[in-house]
Structure 1
Amino acid sequence: MASVPRIRTPELEHSRTRDPLQGFEPKDSYGFIRYLEHGFPNPLVRWHYHEEYELHLIVATRGKVFVGDYIGQFAPGHLVLTGPRLPHNWISTDYPEGGVKLRDHALQFAHEPFESATRLITELRPALPVLERARHGIEFFGISAEAERLFIRIRETRGLRRFSAFVEFLALLAECNEYHQLSDARIQSFDDDTSLAKISAIVAYIAEHCAEDLSLASFAHRANMTESTFSRFFQRATGNTFSEFVNRLRINKACQLLMETDHYIANVCYDVGFNNVANFNRRFLQIKGMTPSEFRRQAGERFGVTVSV
């Protein structure tokens, strides 16, 4: 029998709560791009999400990063782009006594104004695939020094000069080939809209029904393909075989339940579609690099420390 769930949802960050005393730019001092910097400890270190994209660079301390159901390590030079409504937190565990004055550079910007601009300005369109991937979180490698230079340029400028630095930043991200998608299950790029729409519908159905019995044969029939043709199509679209992808979605769903409820691990196993606890534990370790119980323990640390100023 499942225990009574205790919900641990992330805090929604509202515009009205973005206090300049914590490191945000004052409300009327910026346009499309808002700059933020802060040290550690700081009240902003908390499990939260917001409607905007956030580009985030760590310049001091080491610790644990939580993005959606991802748990990892960070150090100076850690550069991540998170998408709208994707929960996140960076918690320093190795820092000098008394903390640090500057730990984070961050930019926040909304999706709709940028997407609208790409309809008129074709030169902005190469950034759209980066923003799509950001919905699952992206960590970039090898560009931290250039990123810090651009963060400082954006902090020190306004208007067209700020926007030009922002566009240069987007170009840097779009051209970076060394990155890690923080969520495992994703759709890769497609050249034609028909194929993209088809695979998006399939993935949406799998995500909605991942706890059910799902077979490659049934989806091949739905797509009007042979099993071998569908298998190749699916692997090209997701980078995974059908069974691997279903397992990854189920593990991601399990992570959500482990983070947000007190359900027993055995119940979580069956709730997400596995019918064998040993297989669930093995798959979880393979995909997340830790056991479900260790994930739940570490996930409990994602709230961070709230410090009054």
Structure 2
Amino acid sequence: MINTELFKEVSPLSAKDCFILIERQKSNFNFPIHVHPEFELNYIENAKGAQRIVGDSIEEIEDEELVLITNPRLEHAWMDHHNQSKDIHEITIQFHSDLLKEEFLNKNQLISIQQLFIHAEKGVTFSRETIIKIRPLLKILTCENDSFYSLIKLMIILHELSIDKNMRELSSGSFSQAATSESNNVKLNKIIEYIHQHYSDTIRLADVADMVHMSEASFCRFIKQHTSKSFIDFLTDIRLGGASRALIDSTQSIAEIGYSCGFNNLSNFNRIFKKKKGVTPSEFRDNYRKNKTIV
């Protein structure tokens, strides 16, 4: 196992400020994969073909991009990849994780923002419709001189983001090891813990259902209700999360990692990984290694 640490970004956000906004015009992406404790909202314009890396999600972006990350351990970066533009516009907002206290977020009017922050522990990208709605608000915010009104405008932006029905989580939970709302469900927590401990073995639905004293039919409904996935997809995602982490942090061969994560042969591992991640395990490892900075 390689003992490495990702580049830790030092934010210019001070302890006395609620948030910081940085607007840039730039010709390329040159910041390495990194982590930081601050929550971050990143808007990118005119960078079609650039590559977004958030946890174990690697995707090519469209002309406009809007992503929120609220996990201090979730590595992320944007890379040039196929982007040809030399006129990239970027607006980054960073704010403290305790800007909105838990007691405040528990109020009825803020529940949707609380849920947004939970989803964003895996990184979330927003729908085209929401980007169109948020774009002018972000640009107005860049011109606001009154810090109090700036904070109010940020709250409006967070609310609008929180009601996007088509937001999409990026990284798998097993990769980012984020503490999501699912962790509050004791039964689901037990299932997740069992799968994490045994995903290299053969796992039968009947055995896991029996462990939590449920019929197979009830168990399948339970998993679908709490994860929006079938049990097989849920299990596969956990295995892929473990495989993704091993591809980054170990020197094991691709085949060794596949077998150790419960895939019965190399071709099956390669096929499923590429279907889910868009790249082969080898390409995924290479993408991280060439962009990773060790400190």
Whether TM-score is above 0.5 comes out as yes
Is 1:150 matched with 2:174?
Answer: no
Return closer, same or farther for 1:211/1:179 CA change in 2, 3 Å cut-off: same
The percentage of aligned residue pairs carrying the same residue is 25
1:35-74 paired onto structure 2 within 5 Å: 35-40=21-26, 45-62=31-48, 63-74=50-61
Kindly indicate whether the alpha-carbon contact (under 8 Å) linking 1:69 and 1:183 is maintained by their aligned counterparts in 2.
yes
Q: Which stretch has the larger CA shift, 284-293 or 171-180?
A: 284-293
Kindly indicate whether the alpha-carbon contact (under 8 Å) linking 2:47 and 2:64 is maintained by their aligned counterparts in 1.
no
**What is the DSSP-based 3-state SS (H/G/I as helix, E as strand, rest coil) of the residue aligned with 2:157?**
helix
User: CA-to-partner distance for each residue in 1:204-260, whole Å, 9 max, x for gaps?
Assistant: 442344334433222222222112211211122112222221111111221122233
User: CA-to-partner distance for each residue in 1:47-69, whole Å, 9 max, x for gaps?
Assistant: 10111221111023231110001
Report what 1:176 is aligned to: 164
After TM superposition, give the deviation of residue 38 of structure 1 in Å: 2.7
Kindly indicate whether the alpha-carbon contact (under 8 Å) linking 1:66 and 1:302 is maintained by their aligned counterparts in 2.
no
1:1-309 paired onto structure 2 within 5 Å: 5-6=1-2, 9-15=5-11, 18=12, 27=14, 31-40=17-26, 45-62=31-48, 63-85=50-72, 86-93=74-81, 94-96=83-85, 99-100=86-87, 103-118=89-104, 121-141=107-127, 142-157=129-144, 158-184=146-172, 196-303=185-292
User: CA-to-partner distance for each residue in 1:12-67, whole Å, 9 max, x for gaps?
Assistant: 1234xx3xxxxxx6x48x72222122343578622101112211110232311100
Q: Which stretch has the larger CA shift, 45-54 or 118-127?
A: 118-127
**TM-score of the aligned structures, taking structure 2 as reference length:** 0.83
**What is the DSSP-based 3-state SS (H/G/I as helix, E as strand, rest coil) of the residue aligned with 2:91?**
strand
CA distance in structure 1 between the partners assigned to 2:91 and 2:183 by the alignment: 39
User: CA-to-partner distance for each residue in 1:268-295, whole Å, 9 max, x for gaps?
Assistant: 1122222322322222122223322222
CA distance in structure 2 between the partners assigned to 1:9 and 1:263 by the alignment: 18
Return closer, same or farther for 1:132/1:205 CA change in 2, 3 Å cut-off: farther
**What is the DSSP-based 3-state SS (H/G/I as helix, E as strand, rest coil) of the residue aligned with 1:126?**
helix
**What is the DSSP-based 3-state SS (H/G/I as helix, E as strand, rest coil) of the residue aligned with 2:140?**
helix
Kindly indicate whether the alpha-carbon contact (under 8 Å) linking 1:53 and 1:81 is maintained by their aligned counterparts in 2.
yes
Q: Which stretch has the larger CA shift, 6-15 or 244-253?
A: 6-15
Return closer, same or farther for 1:288/1:56 CA change in 2, 3 Å cut-off: same
After TM superposition, give the deviation of residue 303 of structure 1 in Å: 4.1
Return closer, same or farther for 1:120/1:275 CA change in 2, 3 Å cut-off: closer
After TM superposition, give the deviation of residue 182 of structure 1 in Å: 1.0
Return closer, same or farther for 1:279/1:44 CA change in 2, 3 Å cut-off: closer
CA distance in structure 2 between the partners assigned to 1:211 and 1:91 by the alignment: 33
In the alignment, structure 2 segments of 5+ residues that lack a partner are none
Residue 79 of structure 1 aligns to which amino acid in structure 2? L
In the alignment, structure 1 segments of 5+ residues that lack a partner are 19-24, 305-309
**What is the DSSP-based 3-state SS (H/G/I as helix, E as strand, rest coil) of the residue aligned with 1:14?**
coil
CA distance in structure 2 between the partners assigned to 1:196 and 1:240 by the alignment: 16
Return closer, same or farther for 1:173/1:8 CA change in 2, 3 Å cut-off: same
Residue 104 of structure 2 aligns to which amino acid in structure 1? T
Report what 1:22 is aligned to: none
CA distance in structure 1 between the partners assigned to 2:63 and 2:124 by the alignment: 16
4+ aligned runs moved over 6 Å, structure 1: none
Return closer, same or farther for 1:9/1:210 CA change in 2, 3 Å cut-off: farther
CA distance in structure 2 between the partners assigned to 1:290 and 1:43 by the alignment: 21
RMSD between superposed Cα atoms in Å: 3.0
After TM superposition, give the deviation of residue 79 of structure 1 in Å: 0.7
Kindly indicate whether the alpha-carbon contact (under 8 Å) linking 2:195 and 2:235 is maintained by their aligned counterparts in 1.
yes
User: CA-to-partner distance for each residue in 1:99-120, whole Å, 9 max, x for gaps?
Assistant: 44x5311111233331335257
Q: Which stretch has the larger CA shift, 125-134 or 208-217?
A: 208-217
Residue 113 of structure 1 aligns to which amino acid in structure 2? L
Return closer, same or farther for 1:154/1:44 CA change in 2, 3 Å cut-off: farther
